[in-house]
Amino acid sequence: MNLENLRKVDSQVAEQIDLELKRQQENIELIASENFTSLAVMEACGSVLTNKYAEGKPHKRYYNGCEHIDVIEEIAQKRACELFGMEHANVQPHSGAQANMAVFMAVLKPGDKVLSMDLSNGGHLSHGSPVNFSGLYFDVAGYGINENGEIDYENVRKMALEHKPKLIICGASNYSKIIDFKKFREIADEAGALLLADIAHIAGLVAAGIHPSPAPYCDFVTTTTHKSLRGPRGGIIMCKEKYAKDIDKAVFPGLQGGPLEHIIAGKAVALLEAMQPEFKEYAKQIVKNAKALAQGLLDEGLDIVGGMTENHLMTLDLRKTGKTGKDMANVLERVGITANKNTVPNDPQSPFVTSGIRLGTPAVTTRGFKEEDMHKVAKIIASAIYSSDNENVLADLRKDSLELCKKHPLYS
């Protein structure tokens, strides 16, 4: 990567970027919420657009000189609507959490009732965690998953009729099954609630038609752009046209000032990439790789929450091994596999320790990993867990993971 000017100006920062590139190249990335953008996306994000202030909406800015910015942002809006089948898109949110926050601000008042997936069962902080704005300012009830790792839709229905929420959220940060948006719509209608789908994790799968779309059923759809969608770090809100003005007003001036137009350009590029036939094949491979990894772990005697994945991620349940998610995530990092600790349903450990590890396949699929590679990854993971105190075994496993990385080079 060309950092010629940066090296001259700030060698310390340049050095750390070089080291981070090396880390990404030499480690197997299994954090489900991470991916590798294309060089085209990075070029857009590192462009002169970072110089421009553009508060407001296209053609209704508070600053002059936005004629080219306007075109780029409108391209991103149009592509988002086309790709996801929605009527309106706001591409300005800096993150998925801020996208969710804008929906809350647009249609709720403090104290209003919300029904969403509980964080410990796979939900997201911005869906109602008591330490987050969503839980601090709104009255949130949380539904969970059953012993099969699936949403119990009848229980969601009972909770919706009991609590009468103004907003129901479907979507998760750690749920490995297909989400039935139609059932959620039926529940929302029966309870008289609005429906928000947060598809941050599965956006790439939805865009490719690998996962059912929420578009026909939901009033609002939020997503990040950097997970399975393979774009820059940021967020998008999509909605029915009748909510467009309220959503736009919630984003600006409600929550944000100047949008990051260089990142919006990167979003536009990623959305175009997601429209290509190759992206559908990529999304299919993400799921194939996830299933291969899950099966490989099961074959090694490990447990997966819900037994098998239907999308891009899974949670490794470590309870029967006597190991913790925190410790084993650190062990995996030593052998060249990056993952994150995660709670399992009814976890006896604290959220800072956990009994699980979340694993995902978007990033390795971007590198070109296939099913046979994922079986090897499963063996490395299992061996690292079972031999976590054996330095010789861990050293050999590090060599194995490095060989896989060399087989599938990144940004080379």
**Residues involved in catalysis:** 53, 55, 198, 224, 227, 233
User: Is 79 exposed, middle or buried, given 0-12, 13-18 or 19+ CB atoms closer than 10 A?
Assistant: buried
CA–CA dist 287, 289 (Å, integer): 5
For CA atoms 356, 362, 366, 368, give the dihedral sign: positive
Please give the C-alpha separations between residue 215 and each of 80, 114, 117, 209, 219, in angstroms, as whole numbers. 12, 20, 20, 12, 8
Name residue, tokens 């998008």. Answer: 236
Q: How many CB atoms lie within 10 A of CB 125?
A: 16
Q: Of 175, 173, 221, 165, nearest to 196 (Cα)? A: 221
CA–CA dist 400, 395 (Å, integer): 9
Structural contact between residues 137 and 364, judged by C-beta atoms closer than 8 angstroms: no
Structural Rg of the chain based on CA atoms? 21
Structural contact between residues 128 and 138, judged by C-beta atoms closer than 8 angstroms: yes
Which tokens in the block code for residue 6? 């940066």
- The SS3 assignment for 384 reads helix
